[in-house]
Amino acid sequence: MPKLLFLVTEDWYFYSHRLPLAREAQRNGYSVVVATRVQEHGQRILAEGFKLIPIGMQRRSKNPFRELSALIELIRVYKSERPDIVHNIAIKPVIYGSLAALFARVPRVINAIAGMGYVFTSKSIRAKSLRPFIKLALKFLLNRSTTRTIFQNPDDQNMLVQEGIVRRERTMLIRGSGVDPQTYLPTPEPTGLVTIVLASRMVWDKGIKEFVEAARMLKADRINARFVLVGDTDHGNFAAVPTAQLEIWNKSGIVEWWGKRDDMPRIFAASHIVCLPSAYGEGIPKVLIEAASCGRPIVTTDAPGCREIVRNNENGLLVPVRDHVALARALRMLIDDSSLRTQMGARGRELVLKEFTIEKVVGETVSLYKSLFP
């Protein structure tokens, strides 16, 4: 059995976004190993029949000695496991995992760019200073003959190709991590006030402030609707919205904060509109694919990744990044027009069934694995 090793920084992300892929790989004869920072999902991963290797690599760290230690740990894991193929997921695992694969002589490497993230989209001095080094590292690591890089949207793919960081023939476009349309089923709109949901990690770059300001504007105009934030703050993230701020908003009555939830189909069923005014370097936001599968109209930003799942004026509305006035205007259009919401929701469901099912995404990825074997 060929051995496939997934490298992901967080166990929850693997379980949420990559579990169906790992299951399908296992059904296709691969022995699956998961290297990740184990927190809450370790037993669930083991219950799938996968080998689990806890690692210390963190998504964000300013300690150079900890980073060097994380790289050395990965080299040891790769040398010990001797995988036939590794699948590194997100920018940091792509760099560290590709370096480890080089030292450990892993014969095949898949790198998944799940959005360009903080370093490529933030205007902070720290992000700008890191960017040239990240680009140089990627250029060195992504062009081996047995390495392939998966992009979720063509904007990210074209940017790295045009900047000479990766050759196009070493890339593949696989749009998102997919959704199970039998789990995320369309439901009739609930009765009561129109409810707009923003479900995400609570970080500023996801458009949390713009959502709150849009809600404030609409309520000042006597628009009677509920505005709901769903998700926990991202502890350790430089751009995390403080819990205290979320609680202040919740008490103010401008927005409701429901915290972390694991029942997203129920959340969508209780909503009328799903909103994600993201300025983050998204791949394709999984929450928007799920919302479309549930037949909910979407309001999001005209930005890479977000615009892949929304066809403007068909299954949702696109607004400029960091523009709470345009966001409020788009939300009001849908709040006021139930027939438009129904029409857009139905179109979103059609789009998911055609382009974004988990079956399609998983099939394309497993085919890519097989193509690297002679």
Q: Give the C-alpha separation, 329 to 334, whole Å.
A: 9
Q: Give the C-alpha separation, 106 to 102, whole Å.
A: 7
135-179 pLDDT, tens digit per residue, is 999 999 999 999 999 999 999 999 999 999 999 999 999 998 899
In this predicted structure, what is the pLDDT of residue 166?
A: 95
Supply the mean pLDDT for the chain: 94
Q: Hey, CA dihedral for 261, 264, 265, 269, is it positive or negative?
A: positive
71-99 pLDDT, tens digit per residue, is 999 999 999 999 999 999 999 999 999 99
**Looking at residues 103-123, what average pLDDT do you find?**
87
In this predicted structure, what is the pLDDT of residue 104?
A: 97
**Looking at residues 8-15, what average pLDDT do you find?**
94
In this predicted structure, what is the pLDDT of residue 371?
A: 95
Domain 194-355 CATH class label = alpha beta
Q: Which among 8, 5, 27, 28 has a CA at the least distance from the CA of 16?
A: 8
Q: Which among 127, 94, 178 has a CA at the least distance from the CA of 280?
A: 127
Q: How confident is the model at residue 261 (pLDDT cuts 50, 70, 90)?
A: very high
Considering the chain, what percentage of its residues have pLDDT values greater than 90?
A: 86
In this predicted structure, what is the pLDDT of residue 126?
A: 75
**Looking at residues 356-374, what average pLDDT do you find?**
95
- H helices of 270-337, where? 286-293, 306-309, 324-335
- Is the pLDDT at 58 greater than 90, yes or no? no
Question: Tokens at residue 303, please?
Answer: 């930005």
Q: Tell me if domain 3-178+357-371 and domain 194-355 are identical in fold.
A: yes
Q: Which among 142, 167, 176, 136 has a CA at the least distance from the CA of 282?
A: 176
pTM confidence score: 0.91
Name the superfamily (CATH) of residues 3-178+357-371. Glycogen Phosphorylase B; (3.40.50.2000)
Other CB atoms within 10 A of residue 201 CB: 18
The residue extents of the domains of the chain are 3-178+357-371, 194-355
**Bridge partners, residue 7, by sequence:** 35, 88
DSSP string, 241-275: PPHHHHHHHHHHTSSEEEE--S-HHHHHHT-SEEE
